[in-house]
Structure 1
C-alpha cells in the first residue's frame, strides 16, 4: 500500500489535488480496497459545499468546489477495484461535477459526444482560434488534466477533453480501442457543428496510454497539424507488465485474454516512420514501468519529431510540471499559429 500511495502522489499533484489533503486521506486508509470509498467521500463533500455556495450566489467558490469534486471522483477510480459498478458511479459523478463547474464558470462550454467518445469543449476568451483534443490514458479520464487544458486556454486555444472507449464515463460500456485514430476522427467531425473554431488548425495531446493514441492519430488523421505524446508507450510486452497494469487492462478490456490481445497490438515500430507531422514527445527520465518501452524511441524514428526529456520527471511528469507544461503549451501554440 505505501508504494502505491507514494507512486500516485505526483499524479495527484498533476491532477490538481491538494497534497496535504491527499496525505490525510491516504494516511487513514486501512487497505487499498478502501481507496474508492475514501476518495469518493471527499468528492461528495466538495460537491455538497459547492451546492451550498451556489445556492448563496457564491458562483466562483461553487464552481471551484465542483471542479475539486470532479478531481477527487476521478482519483477515486484509479484503483483496479473489483466493484466495477462502483467505479462507473464514480466516473458519472466526476462527469456531473465537471458539468456543474463549467455551467457556473464557463457557460459557453459545450458537451461534444458521438460514437465512442464524450467530452467537454472549452473556449478561450476570443473565438476563431485553433482547437486541441486532450486524450487520457489507460485508467484516466477527461477530468484529470485540468492544468494542461488551462495552459492551452490561456494561449488562445480551445480544448476538447474527451473520454474514449474504455475511459471515464464510457469505461462501463466499452473496451479500450487500439485504433483510437477513428475516435479522434469522429471527435473532429463533431466539432464541425460548433461555431467559432478554426478546424484548419487542430492538434491532439495524449497522456500515458493516450500518448500512443495520439501517435496513432498523428499517423492516420490528415486534419491534424501537430501532435504531442506525454509519457506514452512505444510498445508493450505483456509478460513483463506489472500487476497494476495487467489488472487494470483486464478489467477494462473484459478479461485477461482480451487485455493481452489489446496489449499485443500496441506497437509503433512499423508506424513511427509514417508520422510526418510535427510531433513532440515528452518523457520523464525516471519513468520506468516494466513491460513498457517508452516513446523516446518514437522520437528517434518519426521524421519530424522532437524530444523533450526531463531527467527528474516521472510517469506523467507530475514531479516536474514547470519543466514541461509551459514549454509544451508554447510548442502547440507555435505549431497552430496562423
Structure 2
C-alpha cells in the first residue's frame, strides 16, 4: 500500500492440545444447541464473564439434550435464588460476584437469538440491571448514556487505578458486546487507563434497549463519542480496542479520526461487507442494521472500511490474530496491519489461538494492556 510499513510480526507457539469442556453432544441435541456448543467454547464463555463452573455446567447440560437458552436462564435464576445456602450472611464481595455471574449467564441465554423481540429485550435489560447493581456495590464503574448521531449509545465507564495516562474505548462485534468485555476493561484499568466499554451502533443495550442501529452514517456516532471523551478528560489521549467485527470498526476509525492515538484490532475482518452465506451469523449482521433485506444490510456493512489505499492509519496499530481462527484469516490480519502509515505496526499471532484469542485470555489481556498503556503514555507525555 502507498505509505504503508511492513508490520513487525510476533508468533507465540503453543501445542494446541486444549479439550476442556468439549463434550460430544448426545443424539437428542437439536441443531441450535449444537451450533451454540460449537460457537461458545468453555474459553469463550469465560472470556465473556461466565464463571468456570457455570460454563462447564451449561455446556454439559446442553450437550445432554437441554435447551441452551432455558438452561442458561435457569442457572442465572439459581444463583439469584440461593445466596450461599444461608450458611452465613452474604457479604458485599460475594454479592458482587453472584450478580456478575448471573448477568453473564443471562447474556449468554440470548446469544443465539437472531430476532430483536420483547423477550430478548427483557433478557438484556435484566442482565444490565444485575450488572449495574454489581457496579454500584463495587464502585469501580458507572453506566453512561451518550447522546450521539443516530440515538443514544450506552456504555460502562471504568476508571483507572491511579492517575490515568489515557482513555480507551472497547467495543465488541456481532455477538459479544460491552458488558461481555468487562474482564478486558478490568485489565486495562489496572494499567492506568480509563476504559469506556461501549455498545456502539447496532450493539447490545444501544440497539436492543435504545433502538440505535448501525446505519451508513455510523461513523458520526463515534465522532460524538470521541467528542465526549475529549470533554470529560481534556488532554488525555484516546485509544481503541475493537474485538471481532469491532476490530474492523476500530481500524476504520483510526484512519478517519486523528484523535485516536493508538488502535488495537483483535480478530477483525479486513472486508466486513464481503458476500456471506445466509446463515445465523449473517442474520445477526442483518439485525445489527435492522434490515430484513440481505442486500440492504450488505450495503451498510460495506461502509465499514478498515483498509483503504487512500486513507492509511496514522497512529500506532496492534493486530492480534489467532492461528486457528475459523472466521478471520491471517491475510485479513496482515492487510489491516499493513495499512498503518506511522511506522509502528505490529501483529501478534497465537499459533493455536481461536477467534479473538479467548483460549489465551490472560496473555491476550497482558499484551493488549501493556501495549496500549505504553503508546498512550508516550502520547500523553508528548502532549504535555
Give TM-score, length-normalised by structure 1.
Answer: 0.87
Contact 1:131 1:203 in 2 (8 A): yes
Distance in structure 1 (CA, Å) of the matches to 2:275 and 2:314: 32
Give the one of 265, 270, 279 matched to 1:243: 279
Residue 90 to residue 193, structure 1, CA distance change in 2 (3 Å): farther
Query: What residue number does 2:25 align with?
Result: none
The reply to whether residue 145 of structure 1 matches residue 195 of structure 2 is no
Distance in structure 2 (CA, Å) of the matches to 1:125 and 1:231: 27
**Two-structure CA RMSD over aligned residues (Å):** 3.0
Query: What residue number does 1:213 align with?
Result: 249
The reply to whether residue 60 of structure 1 matches residue 93 of structure 2 is yes
Alignment of 1:165-244 (within 5 A): 165-172=201-208, 173-177=211-215, 180-192=218-230, 194=232, 197=233, 199-236=235-272, 238-241=274-277, 243-244=279-280
Give the one of 13, 32, 39 matched to 1:7: 39
Distance in structure 1 (CA, Å) of the matches to 2:365 and 2:154: 25
Output one character per residue of 1:172-199: Cα deviation in whole Å (capped at 9) or x when no partner. Answer: 32322465443332223223554xx464
Q: Looking at both structures, which has the greater relative contact order when contacts are Cα pairs under 8 Å and sequence separation is at least 6?
A: 2
Give the one of 65, 71, 75 matched to 1:38: 71
Output one character per residue of 1:19-78: Cα deviation in whole Å (capped at 9) or x when no partner. Answer: 44223223333899932332233233334456999xx56111111111112211222221
Distance in structure 2 (CA, Å) of the matches to 1:233 and 1:178: 18
Query: What residue number does 1:275 align with?
Result: 313
Q: Structure 1 residue 308: deviation in Å?
A: 1.0
The reply to whether residue 99 of structure 1 matches residue 132 of structure 2 is yes
Residue 191 to residue 263, structure 1, CA distance change in 2 (3 Å): closer
Alignment of 1:232-311 (within 5 A): 232-236=268-272, 238-241=274-277, 243-253=279-289, 254-255=291-292, 256-270=294-308, 273-289=311-327, 294-303=332-341, 304-311=344-351
Distance in structure 2 (CA, Å) of the matches to 1:270 and 1:19: 41
SS of the aligned residue for 2:76 comes to: helix
Contact 1:178 1:265 in 2 (8 A): yes
Query: What residue number does 2:352 align with?
Result: 312
Contact 2:201 2:207 in 1 (8 A): yes
Contact 1:238 1:291 in 2 (8 A): no
SS of the aligned residue for 1:12 comes to: helix
Distance in structure 2 (CA, Å) of the matches to 1:52 and 1:111: 35
The reply to whether residue 16 of structure 1 matches residue 49 of structure 2 is yes
Distance in structure 2 (CA, Å) of the matches to 1:272 and 1:284: 28
Contact 1:181 1:221 in 2 (8 A): no
Residue 117 to residue 277, structure 1, CA distance change in 2 (3 Å): same
Distance in structure 1 (CA, Å) of the matches to 2:66 and 2:310: 40
Distance in structure 2 (CA, Å) of the matches to 1:185 and 1:39: 37
Contact 1:49 1:62 in 2 (8 A): no
The reply to whether residue 334 of structure 1 matches residue 370 of structure 2 is no
Residue 333 to residue 185, structure 1, CA distance change in 2 (3 Å): same
The reply to whether residue 78 of structure 1 matches residue 111 of structure 2 is yes
Output one character per residue of 1:275-323: Cα deviation in whole Å (capped at 9) or x when no partner. Answer: 1111111111111328996333111232232111111111111112233
Gaps of 5+ in 1: none
Contact 2:318 2:345 in 1 (8 A): yes
Residue 14 to residue 290, structure 1, CA distance change in 2 (3 Å): closer
State the aligned residue count.
Answer: 335
Give TM-score, length-normalised by structure 2.
Answer: 0.78
Residues 255-264 or 88-97, more deviating? 255-264
Residues 290-299 or 17-26, more deviating? 290-299
